[in-house]
Structures are given as C-alpha cells and as structure tokens.
Chains A and B, each alone.
Chain A
Amino acid sequence: MLSYVAKRLIWTLPTLLLVGFVVFVIVRLIPGDPAQIILGDSASPEQVAALRAQYGLDRPIFVQFAFWLGRAAQGDLGRSITDGQAVLPLLIERFQVSAMIVFIAVGFAVLIAVPAGLIAAWKQNSGFDIAIVAGATLLLSIPSFWLGLILLLVFGLKLGWVPVIGYTPFSQSPTQALLYIALPVVTLTLIETGVLTRMARASAIEVLRLEYVMHARAKGLSERRVLLRHVLPNAFAPTWTVIGLVLGNLLGGIAVLETVFTLPGLGRLLVDAIFARDYPVVQGCLLFTALIYVLVNLVVDLCYPLFDPRVSAS
C-alpha cells in the first residue's frame, strides 16, 4: 500500500515538471507584456524595458525557466509581478476559499444525487424517474454564472436574505462565513447534483440488472435491503470516480462563480493573473491545480477498495 502511494507520488513529479514547462512556454507565447500592462498606454519604451529587466523578463526563456525551476524545487514559486506578493502563500490562502466552497457543495451534491439516482434507477421509466432525469438534465445544462446571478438577484437583491458581496473566513466568524458562501455553495450544489444524479442512476441501473441482485430478491430480501445492501455500494464505486474528477476540476475551475460572488478564490486569482500576464502567478496557479488534481485522484483511487472490494489498492 505504502509503496503504491510512493510510486504514485513519484510519478507526480514528471507530470508537474511537464505541466510547469508547458505552462511556462505557453503563457510567454501569448501576446501581451506584463510590464506594458502595469505601466499603461503612456509609458515610454525605456520604462517598459526597465520594468522587464527588473523582473528578468528580458532574459532568454530557457534561462528564465531554469531560474524558476530552481526556486520552485525549493518551494519558492516567485513573486507576483502585479503586486509583489509571494506566490505560494497567496495560492494557499486563495485555495482555502475555493476548497471550502467546493468540498461543501460536492458533499451536499453527493448526499442528494446518490439517493436520487438510486431511486430513479429503482423506479426506472416511471414518472418519478422521468422527473428526476429531467431535473438532473436541466440542472447540468444551466450555465453556473447564470444560475449564480439569478440566485444573487432573488435571494440577495429581492429578498435580502444574504449579502450580495463579501467574504469572511470561517475562523473569523462562522455565521458570517456561512452567509457569504451560502449562494455559491447552493449554485455549485445544484449544478453538480445534476451531473452526479445522472451518473449514480446509470450505475445503479447497471447493477440492478446483475444476477446477484435477482438472487437477493429471490431469497426474499426486502427491496430496501436489496437497494441499500447490494445495489448502493456497487453503484457508488463508479460515481466515486466521477466525484474525484469533479472535485479536481472544480478546485481549479470555479473562477466564474468566484467572480460573480466576489470571492477571493484560486480560480479568480488565475483569471486575473492571465489578464494581467502575471506569469509567476499563472504558473503557480496551474502547477498548484495540477498537483491538487493528482492528489485528489490519488485519494479517490486509494479509497476505491472501500466501495468495491474487488479492486485492491496494491
């Protein structure tokens, strides 16, 4: 087990190196100069050149990469060109915001989607099933920014139940924090519930067709026991894999929601950094996201045997 984990982690290194290199090259290939953006349309060429030199942007790209890699290996991802902040602490601070919303939302989505999918599969082709499938399809078709804005207008503006902008960490005031993250969490929960319900339903239908389910029913077990004891654990395993992918995607990709709800998360940081051509922050964000993606999927794989004993971690 330990050697498996170690092997997976070791394989992570070349992945991150490749991500780091590709990102490094790509962001520099995009037209647009951070020094020019900082100085604006009235800056003289000399001022732009001086600022480029200050950040080492006038050096050959491979020299820049070598410097960056050397520092990254020591845990130093550089400093933001825009405001001079150290990138790594900035990423960790912003990640906490994104992670809190994503974990809570995906947790709620699983709690709703798995039973809904199971019931839909159990009552396949009934009115109940059709309603759940239609609801799930509708939810996963709605763009998250649109749903977010609608919730913001209804619950923030019209009803005034929650504040429209702002953010407070849990450590500072749990009640305030809950109020601020309520709408983004609800938005994300609704969207992800759609995806996961479809997945859980499909898995459950597959399992319901298997012989051991028929055998269990033939033995005279109640439908409730058949569903909870035999169908749920086996149907949950493929859904679990999807949860891993969803988590990985969301942790780096909820920029739109973070923008709509004015949350200082990782996604918004990345988008702002791309617009500002803030190379160290863009590189740091994408590297960090890749790392999180790899780690989340490692944890998912390690937990898989808990839901499907046929799969061994070794």
Chain B
Amino acid sequence: MKHRSIILSAVAIGLAGLIASPASAQEDTLRIRLNADIRSTDPGINRDANTDAVVLHMVEGLVAYCEDTSVGPLLAKSVDVSPDGKVYTFNLRDDVKFHNGAPLTADDVLFSWKRYVDPANNWRCLPEVDGRGLAKVVNVEAKDAKTVVFTLEKPSALFLTVLARPDCGETAIYHRDSLTSDGKWKDPIGTGPFKMGEWKRGQYIDLLRNDSYAALPGKRDGHTGGKAPLVAKVRFPIIPDSSAAKAALLSGGLDVIYDVQNSDIPDYKQRKDVTLREQATMDINGLLFQTRDPLLKDVRIRRALTLALDIPQLVETVTEGASKPSLSIIPTPSSYYGKTQAELPKRDIAAAKKLLAEAGYNGQPIKMLATKRYPSIFDMAVLAQAMAQEAGVKIDVEVLDWATLLDRYNKGDYQAMSFSYSSRLDPSLSFEMISGDKDAQPRKVWDNAESRKLMTRSMEISDRAQRQALFDDLEAKFRADAPMIVLYSAVETSAARANVQNYSGWALGQPRAWGVSLKSGS
C-alpha cells in the first residue's frame, strides 16, 4: 500500500512537471514556423529564403527595404550621392552598438565589405558589384570613423537596391568577432534587434532579445524603421508538414504561421482564436512557354492561349480568392505598378480559336510541366489545361519534383511550364529575370533584343518618370510577344494566434518578429 502511494505521488509530480514546464518555457517566447531548416547564419553566403528571414533578425545593413519596396537608411544616418551618380557617402549612426557592446564604426563596414568581395566566400551578390552585373564598385574607403565612401565605375540606379536585398544578406555589417581566429564564420555578432540563441539543427532556432538595441524612431517599415524587440525570445520551430504546423498552431504549440496554404484559409476563417492577415508579395506566378519550340514559336498560339484562359476565375480558384489577377511581370505591390500594368484583357474563346486556325494548330498536345511541391503551381497547370480545352488546345500536365522542374527551367527544356518566380524588388530586375539571350542563358523566357536594350537603360537612369515610361513600353512589348502568361502576384496569408499583437506580413514575404508582442493571459 505504501509502495503504491509512493508510485502514485511520483506519477503525479511527473505529470505536474510535464504540464507545467511547456507553459513556463513558452513565457514571452514568440514561436514562428519555418518549413525547413536554415542553411547557415552567415548573411548572403550559403543561404535561402528561410536563412535570410532568420539572419536578418540579427544583422542589419547600411540601407534596407521599406514597406513600399523603396530603399531607406538603416545603419546609415544618411546617404549622399554625388551629382554624377558615382560616389555614395554613407554617414553612420552614432547610437548603434553590436551585440557584444562594441560601437559601429567605418572600420566594421570595411571589414565586412572585404569579406563580401572575397571570391572565396561565394557571396551571393558579388557578381552584382564587381562589374559583371548591375554595378562595379571600384573603391571603398573610410573618410573618418563614421563615414564610408563607395565609388562606382559608372552610375547605377540599382546600387542601393543591391545592398538592401535580403538575398545579399542586406550586405549586413557584422563585428569581426563573428569569425573564429582562423577566419571561419562562427556566430553573427550584428546590430539587429535579436541575437543568436540556440540552433538545434532540424528542430528549431532560438533568437534572444537584444536589450541594448538602438531602434530608429517611427513605426516598423519593412526592414527599416522602428524595429524594437518586444518579446524576450523568438523560436523558429522547423515543421515541414503543413498539416502538423496547422495542428500546432490550433493547439497553441505555435504562435504564427507566416505563409499558410491557400486551401487552409477557409478553415482558419472559422476560428476565433486565429487572426488571418493577407499581404501581396513580390513573387510572380504564371505559365512559361518555350518560344523555340516548333509549335509554340508561333506567337499566335501563345496569344490564343492567353485569350483562352479565364484568368480572374483561375486566380480566384488557385488562391481561394486571396490574390488578384495580374498579367504584369511587375508585381502588384511595386510602386511602378500602374494603369498599364493593371490592364486585364477579357477571355475571348472565339478570338483564340481564330488565332489557332490561322496558325494551323491541329490539336497537337502541349506538355506543361508542374510540381506538387508548391500546390499553386500544380493547380495553375490543371486549371489552364481545363480552360484551354474549351478553345480546342490540348495540354498534357506532367508532374515533376521541384529540383527536376528547376533543372528543366534552367536548361529551357520544356514546351510549357507552370512556374513561380521569387521576389524581384525592382521592375528592372523583374524584366531581367525573364529577358535575355537564350543561346547564352537557356533559362531566359523572353528573347527580344530591342526590349533588352530598354531594360538595360532602365537600370542606368534614376529619374522615376523616365523609368515608368520605359516599364510601360516594356509591358506592351512583353504582352505582344506573350512568352509567358503572368497570372498573379502571390498573396501571403499569415495566421497568428489571438494573443499575438501587431504581427503582419509584408511585400518581401518574410516573417518579422520585431514590434510583435504577446498578450499575456490568453
């Protein structure tokens, strides 16, 4: 009898411990789901979207993207550009300290830059600043402890854009103690609102509040603005399966899913303990055509396919009504998305049939590649298949895994493909991602020499009105050639538990934990 009571007591204590410990562990911890582990903590080096999302909570660049995808100062107090557009002078803020307490100086900028441009480190954006891409930086020097001067070979409208890009690691400035004594990357010692906690590979990444973070005044503004950390800890649990993530959110084991599946939206809408927020992102979804294919090289067939699709209906179905249809390669949140870009031709089956007949189309099957890795890519292909059939076009959908699809895309080895482009943050870059010489780069969808010249021009001039005119012209040419059918800019829908305050997505589609708090007692 005595033994039994001892065992029962032990069980009771154990159970109490089990119940108590998760709750105490969660106190003031914001948990945001990641669908896969990060690759490293080295900004802009060995990275992917998840890596950028986590790392940019810890490190910051001289400039960063604002909410409207323009570029604003972050670690720089101001940026002065010389009249000839070649010299950029960054005046550093005085109040910024690294996680180890050291003040930010021009020397730290030079140290970080030197590491970025060392080819051995494979910085993602090196080709953009060494003359192969958008700009060529010929000199970087410290004028004094708080002033750094970058000199370009020739003016570039996109230099600050490159520095601010998340996939470039925001060209973040980090302290030299981020490296081991033999020069290897250790942990990020940056200036961000959070600092490195524990990284349990395959399970979670913990970030801790930087109590001495020097926040800019004002509201949260993209990756700049007021970035005060309000929670003591951010945990990014790695949950690959979306059903498991949903179950975790609904059971209170998770606070935020920043990119819920469209098919789950109606279910979440029924729940009072979950808040949904929608935000258009810069990702572009659409159907690509191989313009060198014997059949699809005829522009009339490509135009006929555009006319055959009921694009508003297709987008409504694929996105559960979350996204608006758009035929422009410029994403809808862009400040360059104007009237020309918003134009939406109506479905016209008769006109499509007429074009097909003129082109001599006799029902030859068109193979469209898709993947189920991203459900929207598969859904777009299936709906296009059904809609095109009404105009007499036969589409066969072939499903591949994402890696194989990407391989076929890069080789240009397809007739048609349902595809999703990651964010490009400037219209010039949007056109650059699809236009080019197919002989040199088979992945390029649109090979039009005249348009390429316009695109190059748009990268050199800074005047906004002139750029808008160029983009409108490019838009018209793109639609006339119809090398792809853009369907929509993705909308990211986040689901947060009701106790999460002030969480919102943004155009870049990555989670932000700063400015977010947890309401206690919920």
Q: What residues make up the interface of A, taking CB atoms closer than 8 Å to B?
A: 30-33, 36-48, 50-51, 54, 82-85, 90, 94, 149, 152-153, 156-157, 160, 163-167, 173, 175-176, 179, 259-262, 264, 268-269, 272, 275-277
Who on chain A is nearest to B423 by CB? A42
- Interface members, chain B 235-264 (any A CB < 8 Å): 237-241, 243-245, 247-248, 250-251, 253-254
Who on chain A is nearest to B441 by CB? A45
Flag whether B124 is at the interface (Cβ < 8 A).
yes
In contact, A165 and B239 (Cβ under 8 angstroms)? yes
In contact, A31 and B408 (Cβ under 8 angstroms)? yes
Q: A54-B122, A83-B201, A175-B14 in contact; A262/B237 too (CB < 8 A)?
A: yes
In contact, B240 and A41 (Cβ under 8 angstroms)? no
Contact residues in B for A45 (Cβ distance below 8 Å): 441
Contact residues in B for A82 (Cβ distance below 8 Å): 39
Q: What residues make up the interface of B, taking CB atoms closer than 8 Å to A?
A: 14, 17-18, 21-22, 36-40, 46, 48-49, 119, 122, 124, 127, 132-133, 167, 201-203, 237-241, 243-245, 247-248, 250-251, 253-254, 373, 401-404, 406-410, 421-422, 424, 433, 441, 443
Who on chain A is nearest to B37 by CB? A83
In contact, A84 and B406 (Cβ under 8 angstroms)? no
In contact, B39 and A83 (Cβ under 8 angstroms)? yes
In contact, A37 and B127 (Cβ under 8 angstroms)? no
Contact residues in A for B251 (Cβ distance below 8 Å): 156-157, 160, 163-164
Contact among A31, A38, A165, A277 with B39 in the assembled complex (CB-CB below 8 Å): A38
Bound-complex Cα distance A170 to B119 (A): 44
Bound-complex Cα distance A142 to B254 (A): 29
Contact among B237, B240, B409 with A166 in the assembled complex (CB-CB below 8 Å): B237
Contact residues in B for A173 (Cβ distance below 8 Å): 21
Q: A38-B46, A165-B248 in contact; A262/B241 too (CB < 8 A)?
A: yes
Which of A50, A85, A166 is the most central at the interface, judged by chain B CB atoms within 10 Å of its CB? A166
Bound-complex Cα distance A40 to B37 (A): 16
Bound-complex Cα distance A175 to B21 (A): 10
In contact, B238 and A276 (Cβ under 8 angstroms)? no
In contact, B401 and A32 (Cβ under 8 angstroms)? yes
In contact, A46 and B127 (Cβ under 8 angstroms)? yes
In contact, A94 and B202 (Cβ under 8 angstroms)? yes
In contact, A176 and B21 (Cβ under 8 angstroms)? yes
In contact, A46 and B36 (Cβ under 8 angstroms)? no
Q: A83-B37, A175-B17, A176-B21 in contact; A276/B403 too (CB < 8 A)?
A: yes
In contact, A268 and B404 (Cβ under 8 angstroms)? no
Q: A156-B247, A260-B241 in contact; A275/B21 too (CB < 8 A)?
A: no
Contact residues in B for A156 (Cβ distance below 8 Å): 247, 251
In the A-B complex, the 8 residue pairs with the closest CB atoms: A32-B403, A264-B202, A165-B248, A31-B404, A164-B248, A31-B407, A164-B247, A164-B251
Contact residues in B for A39 (Cβ distance below 8 Å): 124
Bound-complex Cα distance A249 to B244 (A): 24
Bound-complex Cα distance A166 to B237 (A): 8
**What is the distance, in angstroms, from A216's C-beta to the closest C-beta of chain B?**
39
In contact, B240 and A272 (Cβ under 8 angstroms)? yes
Bound-complex Cα distance A262 to B204 (A): 11
Contact residues in B for A43 (Cβ distance below 8 Å): 124
Bound-complex Cα distance A48 to B406 (A): 13
Please, could you name 12 A-B residue pairs with CB atoms under 8 Å apart, sorted by A?
A: A31-B404, A32-B407, A37-B402, A37-B406, A39-B124, A40-B167, A42-B422, A44-B127, A46-B127, A51-B122, A165-B245, A259-B240
